[in-house]
Structure 1
Amino acid sequence: MTEQTSPASPQTLLLVDDEPSILSALRRLFRPCGYRILTSESGAGGLDLLGRENIDLVISDMRMPEMDGAQFLEKVRAGWPRVIRILLTGYADIAATVNAINKGEIYRYISKPWDDNDIVLIVRDALERQQLQNENARLLALTRTQNDELKALNTGLEARVRERTVELEQVNGFLNLANDTLKQSFLVSIKVFSALMELREGSGGGHARRVADMSRKLAIQLGLDAKAQQDVFIAGLLHDIGKIGFSDAMFAKPVPKLNAEELGRYRKHSLAGANALMPLADLKNAADLIRAHHERFDGQGFPDGTAGLGIPLGGRILAVANDYDGLQIGTLSEKHFSAEDAKTLLVKSRGKRYCPTVIDALLELLGAPHEEVGQTARIPVGQLKVGMVLARDLMARDGSLLLAADYRLDANLVREIQAYAKREGLSLVLHIRTTN
């Protein structure tokens, strides 16, 4: 007898009992659970069904004529070891139950009369456990197969390497070029991700790029080495990554308009951003700067309340660059300040909120704009050549990033940029570095 209760390949139960009323009660109990249910009134019938059907779990009564539950489940274990086995026992025969446990290796035994909730939970847990075991076995088999394929691939690669020993010099040259490209692509990926985040910022769009650019200029002004400049630039691009879960309504509010709950979330975003980047070893320094960019020089900031020179210099730089732009775009105040007014407000908080050294560097920078490193030339898109290096980011009409500064053009990129300009009807002129 078969009852199909779900069209989506449900798990199958086999109920074995010589009393039809017990089978009917169990069938009614499990029908709402979505299982496919098979029944048999004898152990022999149950074995026949096991030979013909794909069954996941068996529930068998202990006391049955001809073949009792212990004997039946022992045969199930021998023939179908993956099938989960549960024994129903209605009398206090400890020896028979122990025998069934030992020979049939049953998963559980349940005393009659049973509790409906208990037996449903036992079956559900047993089937979930079986699914986990099956999935584990599948993954182990897949891993072994993939390892075998990798071994075969490695063997083939070793043979090819031996055959091409004479080309090692050329290969090493290609690897060095690939490594440089990877580093360049890593920075481009960060810029693209930053640009995607800024699509939510509305009037504040471009904030991360401006903060990153200002932070790098301040780092140069303060004499930081190239690695530190790179770290503070990346931190600038990603400093608001912890806001990625903010609602659109919260994004639209300046900080003074946030309610208590929103302000609590806002005060955690620098920590959330740092934690998000921690798994990436190359971004650990940038993550530390992101964590510190809302600390104050007087120790009244967040998340750690660090003060003075205990705040990383990059974090102090980022704080100044972030607030300088934030005052102008209206994220820190309901009013949008001019660049001059924003600078004045920052100077008033020199030594309190902001590091005096960084504020002095800002004043020097704004008084005498920092020149781009090296000489640059304006090159029309039609005159681009392979090997040229961008001196500035190449932006689309909507403000999204197409290519980052410092990217070296190859033949494919030249063709793509020229095709883009033609498709959009643009007379593009790119800033190209002439000296490095």
Structure 2
Amino acid sequence: MTMPVQTDNASEAVPATVLCVDDEPNILASLRRLFRSQNYRVLIAESGAQGLAVLEKETVDLVISDMRMPEMDGARFLAQVCERWPHITRMLLTGYADIQSIQDAINSGQIYRYITKPWDDNEILLSVRHALERHALEAEKRRLEELTRQQNEELKELNSNLEAQVEERTRQWRAEHEATMAANEKLKRNYITTIKVFSSMMEQRIQNAPGHAREIAELVRLLCGELGLDARETQDVFVAALLHDIGKIGFSDELLATPYTLLQGESLHQYRKHPLRAEQLLMPLDDLRGTAAILRAQMERFDGNGFPDGRRGLEIPLGARILAPALDYYNLQQGHIVQRHLPQAEARALIVNASGKRYDPNVVAAFSTVVDGGANTVQAGVAVLSGELRPGMTLAADLVSREGLLLLPAEHVMEERMIQQVLDFETKSGARLSIRVHPPKPQA
């Protein structure tokens, strides 16, 4: 599916342009074939210097650069792209699990995402599509903001006697402002959706059960509501729950498969660094600073015996104090902490018994209320079968596959084409999806 891009100087949509930079011709050939199959306009360069030369002549929406290249590596190249063409979206292609190098590239080049080689075609296409959607929204936002600024200037110059013209221009301004607000709202929704997609991808690498992170995030959301957190604080903790394993991306399969209580020596030392790695990976992103602070403190204990900083009591960020029992509740059930899978009741009892030691007593009280069903845990919307979907219906909850992969985000408005894709997916997978939609508004 082609991702059209709206230019600032023309209302006509044109195919998105992707520049691929890699010193290996076979990699470039593979990327060109893959992206051309989606009708993207594909440019290639075999070095960072060639890539900069292309950018001086061509209008590019997305740059994908390899990390290891002679003369100018991917981090230095993307840093120059960021400085000279800040509106171009940047992605990093890396063939080795070097967290420090990836972090350097994130810091210097402010990359949107990194992709490991060898890649999965579907995953890289999905990443590129989301990147281009975000790029298009930001371009449209800039256009609308500039248009709003110009119209404000024009309004100042109008003669006070031309009241009718002023009113007409005011109506136009309001329409453009509403369009800007709608674009911002869509950008926010895509932001959360992108995080959910990335969380699903991490689950496959970390070997968690399908939907593990979303279950933790939903429990966290209910805890935040029970404790009276505002929307911004709740979002920080919700996103932290989705990304709680990001610091483990570089772990070996053996380390990932070993329960925490069995770790020792260098393995334990490496494991205890993952909260710091999580913070370092997210710190360059201003919107995730609060989430990064929560992830750094996710393994702290209320009695001060946690890590990495040994914080005690209320010194620990509230978001981390909320996240800790939610994480352990599910990890105990999945065998990530001890060598066996605990039943829900036993996992709940361990959380409650650790109140005041491992966990904040106030949070444990809220946890007991939520887990015991005292909080409002009613599922949003009404359940429907795929055959009952109609254009215009809005999803009340994320639509996920049996494997836990996000198919469509909550609040997505269904169209005829998407409904058919849902029906086709159920037919091919042989499994019925759990679909919840908002009930129709009553007629006035």
Please give the range of the TM-score, normalised by the shorter of the 2 chains.
0.5 to 0.7
Displacement of 1:413 after TM fit?
3.4
**2:295 pairs with one of 290, 294, 308:** 290
**2:344 pairs with one of 334, 339, 351:** 339
Displacement of 1:135 after TM fit?
7.4
Displacement of 1:299 after TM fit?
1.0
Partners of 1:375 and 1:435 within 8 A in 2: no
Taking the TM superposition and a 5 Å limit, the aligned residue runs for 1:64-103 are none
Letter in 1 for 2:323: L
Find out whether 1:404 has 2:409 as its counterpart: yes
More divergent stretch after superposition (333-342 vs 261-270): 333-342
Q: Deviations over 1:300-339 (max 9, x none)?
A: 1111111101111110010110111111111111122111
Partners of 1:386 and 1:409 within 8 A in 2: yes
SS of aligned partner of 2:215: helix
Partners of 1:374 and 1:435 within 8 A in 2: no
Report which of the two structures shows the higher radius of gyration computed on alpha carbons: 1
Cα gap change, 1:338 to 1:135, in 2 (>3 Å) = closer
SS of aligned partner of 1:431: strand
**1:191 pairs with one of 187, 193, 196:** 196
Displacement of 1:429 after TM fit?
4.9
Equivalent residue for 2:383?
A: 378
Equivalent residue for 2:277?
A: 272
Equivalent residue for 1:351?
A: 356
Equivalent residue for 1:46?
A: none
SS of aligned partner of 1:390: coil
Equivalent residue for 1:393?
A: 398
Cα gap change, 1:203 to 1:227, in 2 (>3 Å) = closer
Q: Deviations over 1:43-100 (max 9, x none)?
A: xxxxxxxxxxxxxxxxxxxxxxxxxxxxxxxxxxxxxxxxxxxxxxxxxxxxxxxxxx
SS of aligned partner of 1:378: strand
Find out whether 1:253 has 2:258 as its counterpart: yes
**2:180 pairs with one of 172, 175, 181:** 175
Find out whether 1:414 has 2:408 as its counterpart: no
Cα gap change, 1:337 to 1:373, in 2 (>3 Å) = closer
Structure 1 unaligned regions, length at least 5: 1-7, 9-133
SS of aligned partner of 1:200: helix
Distance 1:176 1:324 in 2: 39
Taking the TM superposition and a 5 Å limit, the aligned residue runs for 1:362-373 are 362-368=367-373, 370-372=375-377
More divergent stretch after superposition (222-231 vs 239-248): 222-231
**1:310 pairs with one of 309, 315, 322:** 315
Calculate percent identity across the aligned residue pairs: 40
Partners of 1:231 and 1:286 within 8 A in 2: yes
Letter in 1 for 2:266: E
Distance 1:173 1:415 in 2: 31
Find out whether 1:433 has 2:413 as its counterpart: no
Find out whether 1:238 has 2:243 as its counterpart: yes
Distance 2:51 2:236 in 1: 43
Cα gap change, 1:234 to 1:179, in 2 (>3 Å) = same
Q: Deviations over 1:158-201 (max 9, x none)?
A: 99x99xx8966555444333322221111111111111111134
Please report the TM-score for the alignment, with normalisation by the length of structure 1.
0.60
SS of aligned partner of 1:363: helix
Displacement of 1:288 after TM fit?
1.1
Letter in 1 for 2:347: A
Displacement of 1:345 after TM fit?
1.2
Cα gap change, 1:318 to 1:334, in 2 (>3 Å) = same
Partners of 1:374 and 1:434 within 8 A in 2: no
Equivalent residue for 1:217?
A: 222
Partners of 1:274 and 1:288 within 8 A in 2: yes
Cα gap change, 1:320 to 1:423, in 2 (>3 Å) = same
Q: How many residues align?
A: 298
Partners of 1:218 and 1:362 within 8 A in 2: yes
Letter in 1 for 2:195: I
Distance 1:319 1:170 in 2: 45
Partners of 1:211 and 1:321 within 8 A in 2: yes
SS of aligned partner of 2:299: coil
More divergent stretch after superposition (286-295 vs 417-426): 417-426
More divergent stretch after superposition (405-414 vs 137-146): 137-146
Partners of 1:376 and 1:431 within 8 A in 2: yes
Q: Deviations over 1:214-261 (max 9, x none)?
A: 111111111111222211111000011000000111111001222311
Letter in 1 for 2:303: D
Partners of 1:274 and 1:290 within 8 A in 2: yes
Q: Deviations over 1:242-288 (max 9, x none)?
A: 00000111111001222311111111101111110111111111111
Distance 2:429 2:209 in 1: 25
Q: Deviations over 1:5-26 (max 9, x none)?
A: xxx9xxxxxxxxxxxxxxxxxx
Cα gap change, 1:228 to 1:414, in 2 (>3 Å) = farther
SS of aligned partner of 1:262: helix
SS of aligned partner of 1:209: helix
Partners of 1:274 and 1:287 within 8 A in 2: yes
Distance 2:240 2:257 in 1: 23
Letter in 1 for 2:422: I
Displacement of 1:206 after TM fit?
3.2
Letter in 2 for 1:368: G
Cα gap change, 1:367 to 1:215, in 2 (>3 Å) = same
Equivalent residue for 2:119?
A: none
